[in-house]
Amino acid sequence: MEPDVPIIRRALLLILAGSLALAGCGGGAGSTEDLQGVVIDPPQPKPEFTLTDTAGNPYDFVAETEGKLTLLYFGYLNCPDICPVHLAQIAETFDRIPEVARDAEVVFVSVDPERDSSEEIRAFLDNFDERFVGLTGTLEELETAQTAAGVPVAVFVGDGEDYTVNHAAQVFAFAPDGMNHSVYPFGTRQSQWNNDLQVLADLGG
């Protein structure tokens, strides 16, 4: 008889999980339990830094993104393998749920100021969504931003024109409540983005 107990318990858990998932689909208050990304527990506050946007204006990350679903990603333009995938997936999710996209801010920070000009960053982001914000700064400012975000500072490997950049590859997601609830490493599926951006948008402000 003993083996039956865990099975019943498991069934109950499944039912519970099912009802939670249903609750999440009903709109209103979301729950971090519905997140499919890597959940940050406890949630972390936004990093404080100011960089320069592609129009040349100062961009205070905390002030500009207040109350918005915010995605933060550090990358560089000469990165053909992984950087475009994250941004293209986010853009595709935004196409599916425009009501979420409307109040969201996607912030791409180029960690390669030597090669990536503001114009090039703008042109790069326009491939995905013209609303995406591109930031740059001096190496020192960028180091401050990366340290504030808790990612290893990008390292430049090699010399001449052909150096590559060793950089953080995960996207940080902040709900409208201003907290970082989850991160998305390379390899995140489109369905996970579709689910999580809706869940995060519902996490209130």
Partner 1 sequence: MLAIVLALLTVGSCSGSGDGLIVTDARIGMPTGPNAALYLTVENHSATPDALEGADTTVANSIEIHETIAGDDGTMAMRLVEAPMEVSAEETLVFQPGGFHLMLVDVDRLDVGEEVEVTLTWQNAGEITFKAVVVEPQDVGEDQSHDG
Beta-carbon count within 10 A of 179 CB = 17
Distance of CA 191 to CAs 16, 17, 35, 70, 111, Å? 22, 19, 11, 18, 28
**Residue 27 interacts with partner 1 (CB under 8 A)?**
no
Q: What angle do CA 110, 196, 135 make, to 5 degrees?
A: 15
**Residue 148 interacts with partner 1 (CB under 8 A)?**
no
**Residue 190 interacts with partner 1 (CB under 8 A)?**
yes
Among 45, 152, 204, 205, binds partner 1 (CB under 8 A): 152
**Residue 40 interacts with partner 1 (CB under 8 A)?**
no
Instruction: Compose the 79-108 pattern: x for residues touching partner 1 by CB under 8 A, - for all others.
Output: xxxxxxx-xxx-xx----------------
C-beta of 49 vs 108, nearer to partner 1: 108
C-beta of 23 vs 85, nearer to partner 1: 85
